[in-house]
Structure formats: structure tokens, C-alpha cells
A and B are shown apart, each in its own frame.
Chain A
Amino acid sequence: MDFEPTEDRRMLAETLRRYLAEQYEIEHRTTVAYDAPWYDPEKWDELAELGVLYALAPEDHGGFGGSGFDIATVFEELGRALCPEPILPQLLAVRLLMAAGQELEPLLSGASRFAVGIGETDAPYALEEITAEAIEENGTWQISGRKSVVYGAGAADTLLIAARHSKGLGLFSVAAEDAEITPYGMIDGGCAGEVFLDQAPGILLFDEADAALQDALDWGALALSAEAVGAMDAAAEMLLDYLKTRQQFGRPIGTFQALQHRAVELKVEIEQARSITIHAAASMGTPDQSRACSMAKNLIGRAAKLVAEETIQMQGGIAMTWEYPASHYAKRLIMIDHQLGDTEFHLERVMVALA
């Protein structure tokens, strides 16, 4: 048994960590993440040059990674730096285009940016409830409907849209210019958008897309879990530092046992979160993939909420301010639970698997 990362992945993590620490400091992040276009196109190019996107796909598809542990490595570092670049939608697109046997190069080089429209206002998470429609006429497809809170929608040139047709749930590629998109910034930084399709021309990638979509969502859940682990580590480090240095009643507040115990509880939960994420990463590509990803996303949802709330409470007023990074970590940690299925959604999936 060996829990050490491989040499390649250790180097990937280090390179990415150093780049983000030097080039994506928290002050820069806070500036770009909350103002249109809610990410930094220059940094996007630099990250692509570093090969971050190539790490999302396996070698036989033109990448140099693509395993569960590669994805976990990349997103853990992104989470540690609270990086708002729209890399998650790119990962979902990699999985979908791979399954469809499409060329990945424009996507892996960063030249082409994708957004994936699955969730709808009345069907935020579950594939079965999707209502967007695709109609074929004279060999061409037309897509209609609304996709809600589509991550990276404002930045994308290509949309992958899940829509129903007469025989099932299909997946279509739609040029962003053929859709009406209302982009907006998110409360925790980064961009999303409302996507309106009115008989938009689409290219059919799958006529039965259920399995490919579920696979992409699993990978997304893994990525978000790893992102949360990185963010929790950083938030907890900040807290520990504060508890050791903040003086009240003539001594560092970290000398109070009541606070020490609470800091220890966070440590325990973060290690649990790391473990379930490793479990999910190891399960990718196995029959247990979906269940493992739901287990991870559920545990992450609980742990991240605890870390967010407790780091604010223990640091007090200062952590309520925009200026102090702890507040932004807390927001990201909470809002991860609003992406690709929340704690309850994934709990239900694990519950169903019990029966």
C-alpha cells in the first residue's frame, strides 16, 4: 500500500502550486473573480501553457493525465489558491468529447473554451428531469429550452447541451453565438450564465447521452471535492495561524482549550474529506465510480460547511470582512455544495444504492 503521489503528479502539483502562489495571489484573485468577465483571460492562457488542461485527458486522447488522481491533483491546487478560472466546465467537456470520440486538442490547448449546459431551473441536478428539447428537421437539429447556472457560460465559445428528443436524452454541441446568454458573476467569485436556446442549430454528439453525462458529472463531483480539500487546507492553515497569534485576555486565543478542541475537530473532518476524495479518485473508471463520487460530494458538503462556519466564528469579525481572505474561502466552501448536486442529492444517491 502506498499513498504517496507518483513523481509526475507530485511535480504537477508543485508546478501548479508555485505558479498560483506567485501569479494568482489572493489579492489578484479577489480583483478578477468579482468583476466581468469574472476570470483572468491572461492567466487562463498561462495556465493552459503550463499544461493544466492537458492534465485533464489521458495520453491516448492527446493529454498527459486524465486519471482520477490527476484530476484530484489539479483541482486541489486550484482550490488552495481559490482560482476562479472556468476549468471545471472544461473537464466536463473533455469527458463528454472523449466519449463522443471527438478531437480534444483545441480544448486541451485552451484555445477553445467550453461550457456544459445540463441543469435547468426545475431540474438543477438530476438528468431524468431535463426538459430542453431537440428536434430534427431535414437532417439538422434545433435545440430549445433554458439551461440555468451554466458555469463558465460567459467565457465559452462552444456549449454542450443536454436535450430531450423523441427517443431519449441527447447531447448537442451548440455555438455560443447561436444561444442567448446572460452572464453573471457568482457570490463566491467566477462566472456563470443563463443560457436561452430558441431553435438553436446543434450538432448531435450522442443520441443516448445518459451514461456519458453521468460520467461527466461524476468527474465534476470528484474535481469539486478535491477543490474543496485544497480550500479547506488553506482555510484551516489561516485559522491555525490566527489562533496562535491573536492576543486576547493577555494570551494567544489558541491557548484556550475550548478553541483548540474545535480546531482539532476541523482537522479530523478535513482528513476524512481527503480520504473520501482519494477513494473517489481511485474508483474512477470502475463500476463503483458514481457511488464513490456521491459519497465524496456528500461528505465534502458537510465538512466544507463546518470548516467555513467555524473558521469565520473562531476568527470573529475580521473573517466577516471582504479584505481578509478567510471570507472568500468560506464562500467558496459553502457554494461548492450548490454545484453538481448538494449534500442531500448525493446522500439520496447513496441511499438508493443501499436498497
Chain B
Amino acid sequence: MDLSYSPEEQAFQEEVRSFLAAELPAEITQKVRAHTELTKDDMERWHAILNGKGWLAGPWPKAFGGQGWGPVEQHIFEEECCRAHAPRIVPFGLKMLAPVLMKFGSEAQQAEYLPRILDGRDWWCQGYSEPGAGSDLASLKTRAVRDGEDYVVNGQKTWTTLGQHANRIFCLVRTSTEGKPQEGISFLLVDLDTPGIEMRPIRLIEGGYEVNEVFFTDVRVPAENLVGEENMGWTVAKYLLLHERTNIAGVGFSIEALDQVKTLARQMIRGGKPLIQNPLFAAKLAEIEIDLEAMKLTNLRMLANAQKHGSPGPETSMLKIKGTVIRQAINDLARRALGPAAAPFPSEALEGNAALVPDEHAHHAASYFNNRKISIYGGSNEIQKNILAKGMFS
């Protein structure tokens, strides 16, 4: 057993670190640290910087313009990005649709869309969930009916993250009501400028806007925008969800967030002493540190396994469950550390001498509430447990 990175991997880690140190704009890291909302420009700027280095799509095969990174290199890159407070790469085009197109798309679709994802001409969003189809995704009802050279789409999608910035959406649509629900689903690419599409923002618990509802009324989509075969969309969807689950443990986020809690707990005073010296608080902090230490290894063990066997398996469900629980526990501790100072509404910019805590700690209560989503989205933790149970009991 050898827990360390190989010399090549270590060299890569060094290269990533020095690249981030040199190229990551300070204005952006400042926002990431303070959890200030990033603008579309911020995200596109960072994508362009990464693309210049050829690292925007590191895991893509070289034939498609990537670096062919394996799971370990991907992990190193993502962890270093988290530690450097880089924005996360917007995943919908680069990490979700692109692998799908490479596996199921026609050559024409690959040639058309992959370069546009890389250079930022297209911003994709996801049309999976519906108001009546959340955990039970296969029950989705948005209809696509073939009419000549087009499909005509009617229905509603929801929880479309960052749809407000997007110009295209990939959708799961129902093309047949015969047989099992999974058997009548197709995967369709839709231009958001097509008449009949309306996107409405959904305000979230802490007051921010990051997800949307998308309404389709008689939207005509060229049949050539079908990915894979008609009624085979469920296979495509499952493949995409598997990719959505890499880096699902969010270990990098947790490491960073835990460091932030420690800094905060050294600043906050309780009982005349730094909070970090309070045994009740310190005990909670230490427990999470232990859980996270184990999580790092669980994550690496599964990465090594994926590296060996090709693609990640159902055990990524374990990473999703434990990874999100740990991240949420850290968010919980961060807001607790603030005490009454957690109270102000996030947009209440208490500045100057009215500030309660340094800027980079003002978001902790909002982040705690917002991050309740991570155990719900991408297949709720309950669904992940079903997946694991199915493997264990069948």
C-alpha cells in the first residue's frame, strides 16, 4: 500500500499550484472566499483562462481537445482549485453534456457542439427535473412529438441551475408512453432562442437566484438535435448522472471550509477566550476533522478503483452521501461560530464600523441554508441509499 502520489502526479500538482498562483485573478478569488455571487463575466473569464492553458476540459480525451486526465489528475486539479479559491468550472456543458456527446452523439453533433463548449460560445443548462418528477425522474411528462423534420415540445422543467446565463438546454423528453416509463424517454438539445420557451427565476431559501423553471409551449426542435436513438434517453441520462457524481464528495470544498471555520473560531470570542478554546465547540470541530480525514481516503480509494477499472461505479453514491453530510456539518459549525452575528440578511451590507464580522465570514448562515441543497440535488441522498441498497441486497 502506498498512499502518496506518484512522482508524475506530484509534479502535476506542483504545476497546477504555480499556474493558479500566477493566473487566478485576485478579484475573483475574493468573491469566491466571501461567497459573493459570481457574474457571468467572472465565470467566463475564468473559463477562458483555463482554456488558454488547455485545462478547461482536462478530462476530455486529447482527440477532442482535452488532456486525457485520469481520475487522480482530475482530483488533484479540483482539489488545488478549491484550495486556491478558484470558481468551480460550470459543469453543464463541460462535464455533463460533453461526455454524453462523446459517447452517444453523432460525429456531426460532436463537431458542432464540443468546440463551442470549449471556447464558451455555448452555455448549456440542464432540463431534467420537473415539478412532478424529482426523485422519480423517469416519470417525467414533458412531451416531444415528431412532426415532419421537427419534434414539438410541450411541458415544464425545473431546478435549471444558471439557466439565466444559458443559450442552450439539454432535455429529457417523453417520446413514447408505451412500456415502462424509462423506455419512452429521449435526450434532446434545444436552442433557448426558439420561440415558445420561457425561463422564470426561482428565489431560494437564503434569497439568491441560481435556479429556474423552464416552460415549453409548442417549441419546434429539429429532429437532428436528438442525441442517441429515440426512446433510449434513459441510458444517456444515467450515463450523464454517473459523470455528475465525480467530485461529488466535494472534499476540496470541505477542506477549504473547515480551514475557514478554524480561522473564524480563533477570532470569535466566547467567555473571554477564543471560541476555538471552548471544549464543546472544539470537540465538534475535532469530530468533523476526523470525519474529513477519513473521507479524503475514502475518496482516494474510490478514485484509485475508478482509475483501475475505467469508470466510477455505484460506490460513488457513498461519496455523495458522506461528502454532503460532512460539508453540511462544516457549514453548520461555521454559522454556529458566528453566534448572534449570523443574524443579518445576506444583502444587508454592514460596512465599516457597523460590520459584525470580517467580510469573508458574513455569508455563513446563508451558505448553511443554501447548502441544504447538496443532499437533495443530483439524486437526493435517499436515492443514493436506494442505489447502494440495491447493490447490497440483490
Contact = CB atoms under 8 A, between A and B. Distances in A.
Given A149-B341, A248-B139, A316-B376, A327 B280 contact: no
Nearest to B284: A344
B344 A338 contact: no
Interface stretch (A20-28, A122-130, A263-271): A122-130
B354 to A, nearest CB: 4
Contact of B205 (A184, A309, A321): A321
B49 interface: no
A248 B135 contact: yes
A248 B136 contact: yes
A147 to B, nearest CB: 11
A253 B139 CA distance: 14
B125 to A, nearest CB: 16
Contacts of A321: 202-205
A259 B381 CA distance: 12
A339 B339 CA distance: 8
Nearest to B336: A342
B350 A124 contact: no
B7 interface: no
A149 B343 contact: yes
A317 interface: yes
A345 B278 CA distance: 10
A185 B139 CA distance: 41
Given A184-B348, A331-B369, A194 B342 contact: no
A320 B204 contact: yes
A317 B159 contact: yes
A344 B204 contact: no
B340 A148 contact: yes
B342 A335 contact: yes
Interface residues of B, number: 52
Interface residues on A, range: 35 or more
Interface string B62-88: 000000000000000000000000000
Nearest to B346: A187
A348 interface: yes
Given A126-B271, A320-B376, A334-B369, A186 B345 contact: yes
Q: Is the interface of B mostly helix, strand, loop or mixed?
A: mixed
Contacts of A192: 343-344
Nearest to B344: A184
Interface in B233-272: 269-272
A327 B159 CA distance: 16
Contacts of B369: 187, 327, 330-331, 334
A185 B348 contact: yes
Interface string A309-353: 100110011011111000100110011011100101101100000
B153 interface: no
B344 A258 contact: no
Contacts of B346: 187
Contacts of A129: 269, 271-272
Contacts of B350: 182, 184, 194
Interface in A141-183: 148-149, 182
A351 to B, nearest CB: 9
A187 B207 CA distance: 9
B151 to A, nearest CB: 26
Contacts of B342: 187, 335, 338
Interface in A75-125: 119, 121-125
Nearest to A324: B205
Interface string A259-298: 1000000000000000000000000000000000000000
Interface string B370-387: 001101110011100100
B54 interface: no
B280 A348 contact: yes
B270 A187 contact: no
A313 B205 contact: no
Contact of A327 (B129, B205, B353): B205
A196 B133 CA distance: 52
B204 A119 contact: no
A253 to B, nearest CB: 8
B380 A316 contact: yes
Contacts of B354: 182, 194
A34 interface: yes
B136 A249 contact: yes
B19 interface: no
Nearest to B345: A185
Contacts of B139: 248-250
Given A148-B340, A320-B373, A330-B369, A34 B345 contact: yes
Shortest beta-carbon contacts, A-B, top 5: A322-B203, A248-B136, A149-B340, A122-B269, A327-B205
Interface of A: 34, 119, 121-126, 129, 148-149, 182, 184-188, 192, 194, 196, 247-250, 253, 258-259, 305, 309, 312-313, 316-317, 319-323, 327, 330-331, 334-335, 337-339, 342, 344-345, 347-348
Given A187-B342, A259-B382, A347-B280, 17 more contacts: A34-B207, A124-B341, A125-B270, A148-B341, A187-B365, A249-B135, A249-B139, A258-B382, A312-B376, A313-B375, A313-B380, A319-B205, A331-B369, A335-B365, A338-B335, A338-B365, A344-B278
25 contacts: A34-B345, A122-B269, A123-B269, A124-B341, A148-B341, A182-B350, A184-B350, A186-B343, A186-B344, A187-B206, A187-B369, A192-B343, A247-B132, A259-B382, A312-B376, A317-B134, A321-B204, A321-B205, A323-B203, A330-B369, A330-B372, A335-B343, A338-B338, A338-B342, A342-B339
